Amino acid sequence: MIGKIKTVASLKERDIEQMFHLFNTYYVNVSLDVFKKDISEKKHILLAYDQNRVIGFTTIREMTLRHKSGKSTKGLFSGDTVIEKSYWGRTPLRTLFVWYIWRYKLRHPFSSVYWFLITKGYKTYLILAHNFKVFYPRFDQPMPDKIKECIDLYGSELSPQGYNPGTGLIQGQQSKDRLAEGVAPIPGKLTQQNPHVAFFEKANPHWEQGDELVCVGELSLLQPFRFFTKVLRRRLFRWKPELAKSIESREWSSTQGPRLP
């Protein structure tokens, strides 16, 4: 497997066709025209290949939010992301993504910059919760006013009609794509074991209908070091099954589903 970062303009038609095939496998209410339009609004595409076949991708767009005060907030928005199920947890996408956001942070070292995402599945929310030190919304901390303002600006920009500031959700519409049935169900046992999952289900009770929870995670210059420390630690303790399982449950690969970042 190999991973590549491509500009939207450099995508080949074959890449787009394979990306859409993956997307169509895990989502319903999809349209090739809408898919292409969505891609055209992004800056880069992170692709995972296995023998020249696309087996995963994520789209990224740079955003600048303009506040009423005149200040601005910069961030990266992750759009459609899909990974073929047989490759969940073992594609180069996670490494590419970590390096991508780190390089973006390096361009703005003295400013607060964020990963913007909207999630209609708990697995994407877990990636945020397990890999970012500062993220919202969350179960254990109230949301600061400045973060709430960012989330409202971001949600309103993505969906002026669909975003509800009261709930922090972009409400799904009948014509909007949503996860196919059975792709990422929430096991009842998991909500009891993981407070992040319980919070997501409470905050987005109609996720199956395509509602999306608007979230942010603050980017850090230490992001890649934390990530690769986790990977190294997991490998070192692989010979101890109980420790390895505990570590694995907190890392990206254990939460990676069809929609990533």
Residue 218, classified by CB atoms within 10 Å of its CB into exposed (0-12), middle (13-18) or buried (19+), is middle
Question: 């303790």: which residue's tokens?
Answer: 237
CA atoms of 261 and 91, how far apart (whole Å): 13
Residue 202: predicted pLDDT: 93
Give Cα separations from 201 to 206, 207, 213, 230, 258 (angstroms). 8, 8, 10, 27, 18
The pLDDT of 113-140, averaged and rounded, is 88
The torsion angles phi and psi of 195, rounded to 5 degrees, stand at: -65, -25
User: Residue 140's pLDDT is what?
Assistant: 92
Q: What Cα–Cα distance (Å) separates residue 42 from each residue in 59, 62, 79, 80?
A: 6, 8, 8, 10
* pLDDT at residue 151 greater than cutoff 50: yes
For residues 66-77, one letter each, b for 16 or more C-beta atoms within 10 angstroms of the residue's C-beta and e for the rest, the string is: eeeeeeebbbbb
Domain residues for the domain of 167 are 2-255
Say how many domains are in the chain. Answer: 1
Tell me whether residue 15 is in a domain.
yes
pLDDT interval class at 224 (50, 70, 90): low
Q: Looking at residue 159, what DSSP letter applies? A: -
Within-domain flag for 196:
yes
Is the residue at 261 inside a domain?
Answer: no
Span 157-194, pLDDT tens digits? 988 889 999 999 998 765 566 565 655 667 777 778 88
Query: Residue 260 domain-assigned?
Result: no
**Domain contains 188:** yes
In a domain? residue 37: yes
pLDDT digits (tens, 9 = 90+) for 35-86: 888 888 888 999 999 988 999 998 999 999 998 888 899 999 987 778 888 8
Whether the CB-CB separation of 216 and 51 falls below 8 Å is answered with: no
Whether residue 63 is contained in a domain is answered as yes
Q: What is the CATH number of the domain that holds 135?
A: 3.40.630.30
Residue 229 — pLDDT band, cuts 50, 70, 90?
low
pLDDT of residue 94: 82
> Are the CB atoms for 44 and 78 separated by under 8 Å?
no
- The kind and range of the H/E element at 106 are helix 93-107
253 band by pLDDT with thresholds 50, 70 and 90: very low
Residues 6+ positions from 85 with CB-CB distance below 8 Å: 258
- pLDDT tops 50 at residue 223: yes
| pTM (two decimals) | 0.77
Beta bridge partners of 81: 58
Nearest to 196 by CA among 147, 261, 136, 118: 136
Tell me the per-residue pLDDT of 86-98, one tens digit each, with 9 for 90 and over: 887 778 888 888 8
Residues 103, 154, 117, 26, CA torsion sign: negative
